[in-house]
Amino acid sequence: MADNVTSLFRTGAHSPSMAALARESGEAGPLDFCIPCNPYFPTPAMFDELTHRLRDIITYYPSSADTITAELCNLLQLPPQCVAMGNGSTELITWIDHLLVRESLAIPVPTFGRWTDQPLETGKRVDMFPLQESNGFALDPAQYIQFIRSRGTRAAVICNPNNPDGGFLPRQTILAFCDALADLDLIVIDESFLEFADAENEPSVVEEAVMRPNVIVLRSLGKNFGLHGVRFGYMVANPGLAGRIRSMLPKWNLNAFAETVVFMLKNHGPEYAESLQLVRRDRLDMAHQLSALPGLTIYPSQGNFLFVRLPVGAEGTVVRDRLLTEHRILVRECGNKIGSSSRFLRLVVRPPADVRRLVSGMESVLFGARRGAAVPELNTGTNYSSGTAAVDRLVGSTNGQGFPGLAASANGMVGQPQALPLPQPLTAGANGMVQQPQPMVAAANGMVGQPQPLTAAQTRGTNGMPGGLTAVNAQGQPQQFPPQFAPQQGYPQQPQAMPQPQPVPPPQPTGWPNTAGASDGVGWPAAGTVNRVG
């Protein structure tokens, strides 16, 4: 039975569904640290209401997507002509690719798999910009812009926060990025996890997107509300772009569960705002608890998950399988994410009691003697292979023509990670650029301290830029770039004319609700009215 369950993880690029795990195991689902849900929303009272209405929900047709979208826009105070709702954000990514990505798309990796897989499936060139492990997987927008220019890419994506590492860029940095690439066919800012961020009071660029000719902001209701099974997300753009996507969506692409939840939200704004505060609080507590495990590195995150690097010698698939079969705990091993390796896990933020169970299980699997520790001995220079050579081969085969020596070049890279101190709060400089916090590293004695040097084999795949892939030098040092990412001369010519935005009613002062703020106790949360926690 255990072999049947663990075999489910070797059949695709994504984790198996909870239903599939339950079918194979014949038991209730495990403690879930894999699927990035909101554990505090919907509330028990909301679930009771959904249960009471279940028969009608599954018996009758839902209203049209236009009706459901109008209710959501009324709640969020967005112009309906600038919004398209999809059966999950994946449906919107699919149509964005089909309609708006002409030939190429750039995306930092590792990231959400559909941003790489979807355009590859339709024959587009995907230019993958590797985030550096030595820099805590933080995205340098100047380097990314230079990479886009050097490749001649026509569409670009930033996930903010990024999945799986939780990396975050402040609002002004995102807007400067959009300004610098105003000539591209398309820029997508994926804000699916932004409501869990607390680094800024108003981090979203939604209001600016409706006024720009080539910017789409993607949002996920399933992730925010902890309802992945309902399948609903939305995008915001100028009326021309939003209308093109909306015109291709089926009239009833949203189900009755989605309709019921959307119409319930106006009565549960305070509970939702409180749930976000609790997740942010738990994120700090979880990072602190995990830091007690020797050799574990915890990267700073603004999502509802933490990206962690296992100690030297640990194999992520072994840790994942043993946590599931021995401790009934489900985690996301990231070896099948391009730009990552099996030494990394993504762990969803959960309440402290659940985290204590996770830490106990990981301690047993990594260092216990009952079945042999996953980590033979810390800090002994174990010849661990991260498996990133396979990642390099995949990048080399999918990142466009002209780089036949990419994998071989990457295999020859050698770099030493920098010593990284405890994370500090995110601070923005005068130019709007954020000073990135550094990952937490637990030393062999259990205290948070400096990481041990890794061998070339350990750092090869994610430490240092593969030759020819980016516009930075072999040591990973950024080149000088114009202030505010000003475009340089000699870049590709302007694309064909995009649909021009139609006049949009100006946002109201209490318009787009930044749910990072709390509710005033009446209706849906108002922006910027809460003391932040975490």
- What are the pLDDT digits (tens) for 487-507? 333 333 444 444 454 544 544
Q: Which of 476, 530, 504 is nearest to 239 (CA)?
A: 504
127 vs 26 pLDDT, higher one: 127
Residues 9 and 77 in one domain: no
User: d(Cα 45, Cα 51) in Å, to the nearest integer?
Assistant: 10
478 part of a folded domain: no
520 part of a folded domain: no
User: d(Cα 419, Cα 416) in Å, to the nearest integer?
Assistant: 9
Cβ-count burial of 55 within 10 angstroms (0-12 exposed, 13-18 middle, 19+ buried)? exposed
Residues 17 and 148 in one domain: no
250 part of a folded domain: yes
437 vs 507 pLDDT, higher one: 437
- What are the pLDDT digits (tens) for 63-95? 999 999 999 999 999 999 999 999 999 999 999
| pLDDT given at position 225 | 85
Which of 323, 339, 367 is at the close of a domain? 367
517 part of a folded domain: no
What's the CATH code of the domain at 314?
3.90.1150.10
- Quick one: how far is CA 527 from the chain centroid? 23
Q: Which of 440, 530, 525, 431 is nearest to 482 (CA)?
A: 431
| pLDDT given at position 365 | 97
Residues 195 and 210 in one domain: yes
Q: What secondary structure, in 3-state letters, does 2-51 show?
A: HHHHHHHHHCCCCCCCHHHHHHHHCCCCCEEECCCCCCCCCCHHHHHHHH
User: d(Cα 308, Cα 391) in Å, to the nearest integer?
Assistant: 18
The yes-or-no verdict on residue 424 having pLDDT over 60 is no
User: d(Cα 234, Cα 218) in Å, to the nearest integer?
Assistant: 6
381 vs 431 pLDDT, higher one: 431
Q: Look up tokens 């990481």; give the residue.
A: 451
Which of 367, 391, 419 is at the close of a domain? 367
Specify the 3-state DSSP secondary structure of 93.
helix
Residues 230 and 310 in one domain: no
376 part of a folded domain: no
- Quick one: how far is CA 450 from the chain centroid? 27
468 part of a folded domain: no
- What are the pLDDT digits (tens) for 137-163? 999 999 999 999 999 999 999 999 999
- What are the pLDDT digits (tens) for 213-260? 999 999 998 888 878 889 899 999 999 999 999 999 998 999 999 999
pTM: predicted TM-score of the whole model, two decimal places? 0.72
**Phi–psi pair at 186, nearest 5 degrees:** -160, 140
| pLDDT given at position 439 | 72
26 part of a folded domain: yes
Name the domain count of the chain: 2
Query: Mean pLDDT of all residues in the chain?
Result: 77
| pLDDT given at position 6 | 58
Which of 267, 294, 321 is at the close of a domain? 267
User: d(Cα 227, Cα 264) in Å, to the nearest integer?
Assistant: 13
Q: Which of 107, 131, 140 is nearest to 436 (CA)?
A: 140
Residues 245 and 275 in one domain: no
Residues 84 and 177 in one domain: yes
Residues 124 and 262 in one domain: yes
Residues 90 and 203 in one domain: yes
Residues 30 and 121 in one domain: no
Residues 254 and 358 in one domain: no
Residues 79 and 150 in one domain: yes
What's the CATH code of the domain at 194?
3.40.640.10
By residue range, what is the domain housing residue 333?
5-40+271-367
> What is the share, in percent, of the chain residues with pLDDT greater than 90?
61
Cβ-count burial of 457 within 10 angstroms (0-12 exposed, 13-18 middle, 19+ buried)? middle
525 part of a folded domain: no
Question: 257-272: string of b/e by CB count within 10 Å (b at 16+)?
Answer: bbbbbbeebeebbbbb
The yes-or-no verdict on residue 455 having pLDDT over 80 is no
User: d(Cα 288, Cα 440) in Å, to the nearest integer?
Assistant: 9
| pLDDT given at position 21 | 54
Considering Cα of 478, then 479, then 483, then 489, what sign does the dihedral take?
negative
How many other C-beta atoms can be found within 10 angstroms of the C-beta atom of residue 415? 19
User: d(Cα 465, Cα 459) in Å, to the nearest integer?
Assistant: 11
Residues 232 and 332 in one domain: no
Over residues 289-311, mean pLDDT = 97
| pLDDT given at position 186 | 98
Single-letter code of the amino acid located at 377: E
